[in-house]
Structure 1
Amino acid sequence: MDELDELELLELLCRRAKDIGKLSGEDLFILYKRFGDRLIQALKAVREGRVRLHVFKPSNRKLWTVIGKHGEYVVFPGALFCGCDNFYFETVRRLKPHLCYHLIAQRIAELLGIYEKEKHSDEEYDFFVASPMWKRNV
């Protein structure tokens, strides 16, 4: 599994976890070896209910957020983007997308179905994406 990039590894192990309903101890160890403290922070965010799926009606647009240390960050998992500083600086430094703990938490939460779901009107959508770097203060 060492040849897999971070995203491929996370996706593979989360799909396996979805099939059995949990992340096995062995898979957690593999993820920890790759992600270190980012995994610990991600699992804590999932456990504490800080991963949220916002559904806007009537359009049915969906937006993921993860509450972090300094605010609530909008996460675009399909684009591998997070509004946090760690994502920005590590992506610039590496010249490729970086999986911050918010992105890791979102993937784990979505694939295992462990997240808060909130409904909003379409008029509220702009509020979620209007702040600089897609971060809302909470």
Structure 2
Amino acid sequence: MPRIHKSTLLEKAEETVHCGGVKRHLFLPSRTEIWSIVGKEGEYLVSKDPPLCTCPAFYFSSARGKAQKCYHLISLEMAIATGNYFTIMGHDEEIFILLGLLL
């Protein structure tokens, strides 16, 4: 499998953010935040701290002990830095519904 260069990852991340692919799910009243990224293959859960993503690329790089950032994590960082993301509000009772859909 060919290696993806950083510029390609950055380009994919920029495109994802530009196309509105970063979602902040905010649940009330707890104010729990869950982030997801819409990628080419589906929607993935992401976490900034610790840096985690449910996409296969992140999983396999972690399994090999490399834990490299995927473009979904780079998209999250860009979106937070620029404020370019969608916020979806929900009730705390709906957290497990979202997790069930994305896991």
- TM superposition score normalised by structure 2: 0.88
Q: Which runs of 5+ in 1 are unaligned?
A: 1-33
Deviations along 1:28-84, one digit per CA (max 9) or x if unpaired, are xxxxxx712111110000000000111001110001100011211010110110000
**Aligned residue pairs, count:** 99
Which residue in 2 is equivalent to 1:105? Answer: 75
In 1: Cα distance, 2:70 partner to 2:17 partner: 14
Quote how far apart the aligned CAs of 1:129 are. Answer: 2.1
Alignment of 1:1-138 (within 5 A): 35-93=6-64, 95-130=65-100, 134-135=102-103
RMSD in angstroms over aligned alpha carbons? 1.4
Q: Relative contact order (alpha carbons < 8 A, sep ≥ 6): 1 or 2 greater?
A: 2
Identity of aligned residues (%): 34
- TM superposition score normalised by structure 1: 0.67
Quote how far apart the aligned CAs of 1:114 are. Answer: 0.8
Bigger Cα Rg: 1
Q: Which runs of 5+ in 2 are unaligned?
A: none
Structure with greater helix percent? 1
